[in-house]
């Protein structure tokens, strides 16, 4: 005998599926909004590979 009935398993699976789809849609919307804001403000994101600290550190 199973612990959950089939309708309960289907409800959990569909709810989890909707949750994943909603998260993906939210990520897409946030990405599009960030892109639009960057274009309107004409901002350029810094290169993550560029060093942000001086290469020559003086000895104290």
Domain residue limits, the chain: 1-44
pTM over 0.85, yes/no? no
The per-residue pLDDT string of the chain (60 residues; one tens digit each, 9 = 90 and over) reads 567 799 999 999 999 999 999 999 999 999 999 999 988 988 777 777 766 666 676 676
Q: How far is CA 6 from CA 12, 14, 20, in A?
A: 10, 12, 21
DSSP string, 7-60: HHHHHHHHHHHHHHHHHHHHHHHHHHHHHHHHHHHT--PPPTTS--S-SSPPP-
CA distance 33 to 40: 11
- The set of residues, in sequence order, having a beta carbon less than 8 Å from that of 45 and lying 6+ positions away, is 38
């Amino acid at each position: 005998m199973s612990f959950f009935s089939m309708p309960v398993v289907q409800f959990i699976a569909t709810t989890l599926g909707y949750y994943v789809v909603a998260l993906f849609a939210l990520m897409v919307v946030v990405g599009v909004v960030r892109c639009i804001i960057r274009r309107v403000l004409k901002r350029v994101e810094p290169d993550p590979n560029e060093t942000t600290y001086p290469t020559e550190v003086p000895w104290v």
